[in-house]
Amino acid sequence: MDLIAHLTTHFDDSAETLKASGRELAEPLTASVELLFATLANNGKILACGNGGSAADAQHFIAELVGRFERDRLPLAGIALNTDTSILTAVGNDYGFDVVFERQVAALGQTGDILVAISTSGNSANVLRAIHVAHERDMVVIALTGKGGGEIGQALSSNDIHLCVPSDRTMRIQETHIVLLHAMCDGIDALLLGDTL
């Protein structure tokens, strides 16, 4: 096997997935940025959740909001629901892992907030339950999925935004999710800092 040739195919495949995503998701991505900005400007907050690599993406996204992205600005309100080990283990132990995000959305989410729900398969049970509670609280959901969107894609309302990466490969979906999240951060900053667009 030619290992160099094998490994370099990842770059071409990733680039093709990103280009296809850029074509298909430009409009919902723009709508996401406008919604996130409006929510933050109206003193709402962003809740984000996911499992595994998606948990890392949720945490990364919220870190960029609360800290900064590429430019200095005021901190923005966000909470990653997968970072508090005491809550995760207490709720998981007492109620089951499927409700670890649901309980937090019920406790912290309010009308006017946004849930950023990340699942490469679109079938994460605990993310799906968080979406249902967000809807009960009149929160809008921005869902990042792949593989056709799965159960999460079916659970979204007409007010929600679905960013479904056109790929069935988990690594390609995850790579594209981080680009989408970085684009959201950049778009929020552009609107917040008054860039001429």
Q: Is 111 marked within a binding site? A: no
53 carries a ligand binding annotation:
yes
Cα separation, 63 vs 76, whole angstroms: 10
Please give the angle made by the CA atoms of 150, 154 and 156, to the nearest 5 degrees: 120
Judge whether 189 is annotated as a binding position: no
Contact partners, residue 46, CB within 8 Å, separation at least 6: 36, 39, 40, 62, 65, 76, 77, 78, 79, 113, 114, 116
Annotated binding residue 64: yes
Consult the annotation and say whether 93 binds a ligand.
Answer: yes
Residue 121 marked as a ligand binder = yes
Does the annotation list 177 as a binding residue? no
H or E segment and range at residue 135: helix 125-136
Rounded CA separation 129/152 (Å): 9
Number of H helices, E strands in the chain: 7, 5
- Whole-number Å distance between alpha carbons of 97 and 56: 17
Residue 13 marked in a binding site? no
Residue 6 annotated as binding?
A: no
The verdict on whether residue 112 carries a ligand-binding annotation is no
**Bind-site residues for substrate:** 51-53, 64, 93-94, 119-121, 124, 174
**Bind-site residues:** 51-53, 60, 64, 93-94, 119-121, 124, 174, 182
**Bind-site residues for Zn(2+):** 60, 64, 174, 182
